[in-house]
């Protein structure tokens, strides 16, 4: 930093601190008389008697003359008259290459209780999406090491994909496969609203040492306040943005957007927003594009993002699924029926799509993928007749071909969690097996 920058820093410093006092606590929100603050600003609330400690909170709204605050942690010691100190800045997290391999919380602090590594720089968590005209178009495919995705739903560097599934259909396992096998420079994984027991299972069993070595994991478990879950998603996205600005190709995976939306619903209802579809408040549908549009390409690098959507009752048309599907560049649908048959990953090729695939693959690749889907669709349409023995071979040439190809299709889609398949291998096998 040069002298001119230092002078500017000194000129903008406010020599005064602004304080307010807690007047009441209603549900999830804390109301205070003052200080003079704005939406999204970070404040500290002094709680306890001896010793006193400071609790971080964020300004989430206003009611009459009062400030509405929401704490990042559960607060039991707060009382009327507790001091509220304004910071005049939003939440920032510290980011740098030495953070790679760490597991942190929604505020950027290590979950193991150790100190942050040296050499990190502060970076804001809430940033605007890149200008649409400054986003380079997606031209290059990204190898994910998952045969079904690389061949049938090719993902480009900077694409944003949804993974839609009910609970227990293999979302976490698929994310771990992508983290270990993809050609991305770095992975950022956000576990939002996850059960506490499953965090360690995911890190040690699914991700493993090999995956964690080039990954930053951000965790905000389901027992934490709604604001902490929101900040977990924001922090993970900000970390991915930081490394994208360094020229890297980053893979961002968030599990799940649904729990992010539920956390925002909690906050919206707590500050008095009216409930709309299925109880979700208007702010939920305003925040979703703000979060999801932050990933993608910019002039420096790319964020290829995978957002899991927990489909309530396997209903793909519920409000959050519908909103997310309209924002993203494609979706992978994990089918419970396929999982019950032992097909993993349980990707349904007839319900999934990649909207940029046609722009980044050659003609033979595209034609072979279309041929596989055509054969599978023909088989599914006649499956009931085939299973009860009502279909006679020779009645339809297309159905005969589909019956013959079906075992090859299932074998092609199936992949063990420890099996790595390169992009070229996947495409070559697809063209060899299913070209016209």
- pLDDT, one tens digit per residue, over 48-95 is 776 788 889 999 989 888 999 999 887 777 888 889 999 988 989 999
Mean pLDDT, to the nearest integer, of 275-279? 85
Residue 1 reports pLDDT greater than 60? no
**Residue 313's pLDDT band (cuts 50, 70, 90):** low
More confident call, 117 vs 187: 187
Are the C-beta atoms of 216 and 190 separated by less than 8 Å? no
Percent of the chain residues topping a pLDDT of 70: 96
Do 247 and 384 share a domain, yes or no?
no
Residue 334 counted as domain residue: yes
Residue 1 forms part of a structural domain: no
Question: Quick one: 61 and 97 in the same domain?
Answer: no
Q: Are residues 426 and 311 in the same domain?
A: no
Decide: helix, strand or coil at residue 401.
helix
| Residues 178, 226 within the same domain | yes
Half-sphere exposure of 320 (CA within 13 A, CB side): 31
Q: Tally the domains of the chain.
A: 3
**pLDDT tens track for 407-419:** 999 999 999 988 9
Residues 294 and 389 placed together within one structural domain of the fold = no
* CATH number (domain holding residue 226): 3.40.50.12240
Last residue of a domain, one of 358, 387, 414: 358
**Please, are residues 45 and 58 in contact by the beta-carbon 8 Å criterion?**
no
> Do residue 244 and residue 130 come from a single domain?
yes
113 and 71 both lie in a single domain: no
Domain end among 358, 376, 401:
358
Residue 276 shares a structural domain with residue 134: yes
Q: Are residues 328 and 256 in the same domain?
A: yes
Residues 329 and 411 in one domain: no
CB burial string 375-414: b at 16+ within 10 A, e below: bbebbeebeeeeeeeebeeeeeeebeebbebbeebeebbb
**Across all residues in the chain, what is the average pLDDT?**
90
Residue-level pLDDT at 113 = 78
302-322: average pLDDT: 85
- pLDDT of res. 50: 67
pLDDT at position 314 is 61
Last residue of a domain, one of 358, 383, 403: 358
Residues 391 and 284 in one domain: no
Residue 4 lies in a domain: no
Distance CA(17)–CA(37), nearest Å, equals 12
Q: What is the CATH number of the domain that holds 410?
A: 1.20.1270.330
pTM > 0.95: yes or no: no
**Domain membership flag for residue 5:** no
Let me know if residue 331 belongs to a domain: yes
pLDDT of residue 300: 93
CB 355 within 8 A of CB 346: no
Counting Cα atoms < 13 Å in the Cβ hemisphere of 264 gives: 23
34 belongs to a structural domain: yes
pLDDT value of residue 11: 65
- 414, part of any domain: yes
Three-state SS at 175: helix
Range of the domain at 193: 93-358
CA distance 208 to 198: 14
More reliable by pLDDT, 324 or 394: 324
The reply to whether 128 and 260 lie within a common domain is yes
Asked whether residue 8 is assigned to any structural domain, the reply reads no
Q: Is the pLDDT of residue 2 over 90?
A: no
């Amino acid at each position: 930093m040069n002298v001119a920058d230092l002078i500017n820093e000194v000129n903008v410093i406010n020599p005064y601190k602004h304080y307010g006092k807690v007047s009441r606590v209603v549900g999830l929100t804390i109301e205070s008389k003052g200080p003079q603050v704005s939406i999204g600003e970070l404040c500290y609330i002094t709680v306890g008697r001896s010793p006193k400690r400071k609790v971080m909170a964020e300004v989430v709204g206003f009611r009459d003359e009062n400030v509405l605050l929401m704490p990042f942690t559960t607060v039991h010691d707060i009382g009327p008259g507790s001091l509220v100190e304004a910071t005049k800045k939003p939440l920032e997290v510290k980011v740098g290459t030495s953070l790679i391999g760490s597991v942190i919380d929604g505020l950027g602090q290590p979950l193991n209780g150790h100190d942050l590594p040296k050499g990190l720089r502060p970076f804001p968590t809430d940033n605007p999406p890149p200008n649409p005209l400054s986003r380079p178009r997606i031209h290059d495919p990204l190898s994910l090491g998952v045969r079904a995705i690389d061949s049938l739903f090719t993902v480009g560097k900077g694409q944003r994909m949804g993974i839609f599934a009910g609970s227990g259909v293999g979302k976490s396992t698929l994310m771990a496969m992508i983290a270990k096998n993809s050609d991305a420079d770095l992975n950022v994984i956000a576990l939002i609203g996850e059960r506490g027991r499953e965090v360690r299972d995911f890190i040690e069993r699914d991700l493993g040492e090999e995956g964690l070595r080039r990954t930053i994991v951000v965790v905000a478990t389901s027992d934490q306040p709604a604001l902490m879950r929101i900040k977990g998603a924001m922090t993970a996205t900000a970390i991915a943005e930081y490394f994208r600005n360094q020229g890297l190709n980053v893979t961002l995976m968030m599990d799940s957007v649904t729990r992010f939306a539920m956390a925002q619903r909690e906050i919206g209802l707590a500050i008095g927003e009216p409930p709309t579809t299925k109880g979700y408040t208007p702010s939920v549908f305003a925040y979703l594009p703000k979060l999801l549009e932050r990933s993608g390409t910019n002039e420096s690098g790319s964020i290829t993002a995978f957002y899991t959507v927990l489909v309530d009752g396997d209903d793909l048309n519920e409000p959050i699924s519908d909103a997310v599907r309209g924002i993203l560049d494609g979706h992978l649908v994990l089918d419970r029926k396929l999982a019950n048959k032992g097909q993993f990953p349980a990707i349904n090729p007839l319900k999934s799509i990649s909207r940029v695939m046609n722009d980044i693959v050659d003609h033979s690749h595209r034609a072979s993928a279309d041929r596989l889907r055509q054969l599978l669709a023909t088989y599914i349409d006649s499956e009931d007749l085939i299973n009860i023995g009502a279909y006679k071979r020779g009645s339809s040439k297309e159905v005969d071909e589909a019956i013959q190809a079906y075992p090859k299709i299932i074998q092609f889609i199936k992949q063990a969690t420890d099996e790595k398949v390169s992009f070229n291998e996947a495409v070559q096998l697809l063209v060899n097996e299913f070209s016209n």
